Each structure stands twice: as structure tokens, then as C-alpha cells.
Amino acid sequence: MILEQILTSKNEKPEKSFEVVKNSEKATRSIVKAISWRMVGTIDTILISWLVTGKIALALSIGLIEVVTKMLLYFFHERVWNLIKWGKH
């Protein structure tokens, strides 16, 4: 099965050294990118909600809930993907 091949890759390569991984992108840059992307996504959600409902207060409420839930969902999504060996070096 394709899914089995993805989850249990036979062509496993040795892990990259900590120095190589550490130098690929600084954590601060990743944090700033994540925050800026969440801002873009939340603004999009607020605008769509405002267009659909016609109420800015409701749109802002939806945007606030969305930003929190999406961060939590992304965290757990990353933790699950961290368990999958496919695509790792």
C-alpha cells in the first residue's frame, strides 16, 4: 500500500547533524514567519466573516476564536507529523 510505504520508508537516510539543522533557519525567523502568516490568515477570516454576516463585531469574534484554534490545531498537527518517518533525512 502507498500509505504503508509513506509511513515506513525503506530508503531511510541518516539524520542530519544538529549543526546542519540548526543553521538552516533560526528559530526567531520561524516564529516571526508563523506570526505573520497567522495575521494574514486571521485578517482573511475576519474579512470573509464580515462579508458573509455584515457584522464587524461578529467577524472580529470569529477571527479571535479562529486564531486560537488554528494555533492549537497546528501544534498537534506538527506533533503527529513528527512521529511519521516519511520524508525525513
Does residue 3 have a pLDDT over 80? no
pLDDT at 42: 96
Q: For the segment 12-28, what is each residue's pLDDT rounded down to a tens digit?
A: 555 666 566 666 778 78
pLDDT at 4: 66
pTM across the whole model: 0.62
Contact 41, 59 (CB under 8 A): no
At 59, which amino acid appears? A
Which of these, 35, 37, 66, lies nearest to 50 by C-alpha position? 66
Q: For the segment 43-77, what is each residue's pLDDT rounded down to a tens digit?
A: 999 999 999 999 999 999 999 999 999 989 989 99
